[in-house]
């Protein structure tokens, strides 16, 4: 019972922080997702990189800075009144590319036994976590319009898909979905998650008119498919590095990456979908 209350309390506080971060303006929104992205990257490198020496800890900071660069650059472009966006993008590319290659130079002098494995993990963190969080800004910032409600709706769909799949699977789940990676997931649970997600997609269209109802339903379908795959991908990662949770920041829920694994995987597909119609 105590564990259940701890899990529920964490969930309530977490949801409140997310809602406040979405409704208090562009700067709060950007700070919120910068913090989440940094936390997910920190947990990812904590799982994948060796952290025995001071050099290892410096490598982790390198990976964190590399992973956050796309988000920071896109945020500056979104929030600031950049008079010449094309020149800014060119300058950002010129700054970003050399920084990527500094990790090769660092590994040259780090005396690591597996330097290219370290480089691979740092670049993987950039693509797996850094870029999806940078894409969140493309959903939220539409020219002069700030559409944080779209991002919040995407988060809600991701959460209800996961919850619907868990509840349905617990009640009637019998057929394993992917036993090699996640033995507890079932086809019945996934089907329940899809149905709940589509229902909430329709309900969100009644509250948020940023996009039409049919597009909300399409977004819900994307979340239902790729959210589940994102959860499986993180399970595959944790099995590969032999850990149960990505961290312990959220009592009863694990780490930030455990909470945002599905969202991270959904964002690239959702961004392409939203920008196509936009």
Reported as a single tens digit per residue, the pLDDT across 23-39 is: 889 999 999 999 999 99
Residue 212: burial class (beta carbons within 10 Å; 0-12, 13-18, 19+) = exposed
Q: How far is CA 154 from CA 38, 118, 146, in A?
A: 20, 33, 15
Reported as a single tens digit per residue, the pLDDT across 82-112 is: 556 677 677 777 778 888 899 999 999 988 8
Choice among 27-36, 139-148, 212-221 with the minimum mean pLDDT:
139-148
Q: Taking the model in full, what pTM does it have?
A: 0.92
Helix (H) or strand (E) holding 8: helix 2-23
Reported as a single tens digit per residue, the pLDDT across 253-268 is: 788 999 999 999 999 9
């Amino acid at each position: 019972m105590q564990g259940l209350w701890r899990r529920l309390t964490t969930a309530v506080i977490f949801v409140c922080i997310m809602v406040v971060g979405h409704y208090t303006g562009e700067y709060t929104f950007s700070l919120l997702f910068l913090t989440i992205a940094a936390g997910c990257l920190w947990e990812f490198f904590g799982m994948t990189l060796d952290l025995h020496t001071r050099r290892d800890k410096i490598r982790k900071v390198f990976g964190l800075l590399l992973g956050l660069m796309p988000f920071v650059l896109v945020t500056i472009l979104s929030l600031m009144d950049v008079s010449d966006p094309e020149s800014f993008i060119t300058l950002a590319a010129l700054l970003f590319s050399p920084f990527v290659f500094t990790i090769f130079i660092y590994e040259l002098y780090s005396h690591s036994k597996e330097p290219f494995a370290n480089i691979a993990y740092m670049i993987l963190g950039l693509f797996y976590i850094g870029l999806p969080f940078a894409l969140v800004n493309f959903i939220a910032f539409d020219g002069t319009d700030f559409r944080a409600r779209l991002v919040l709706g995407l988060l809600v769909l991701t959460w209800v898909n996961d919850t619907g799949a868990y509840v349905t699977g617990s009640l009637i789940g019998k057929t394993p979905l992917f036993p090699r990676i996640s033995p507890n997931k079932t086809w019945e649970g996934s089907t329940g998650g899809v149905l709940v997600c589509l229902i909430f997609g329709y309900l969100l269209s009644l509250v948020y008119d940023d996009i039409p109802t049919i597009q909300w339903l399409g977004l819900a379908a994307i979340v239902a498919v790729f959210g589940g795959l994102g959860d499986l991908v993180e399970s595959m990662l944790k099995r590969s590095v032999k850990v149960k949770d990505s961290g312990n920041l959220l009592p009863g829920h694990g780490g930030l990456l455990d909470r945002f694994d599905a969202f991270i995987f959904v964002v690239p597909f959702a961004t392409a979908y939203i920008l196509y119609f936009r």
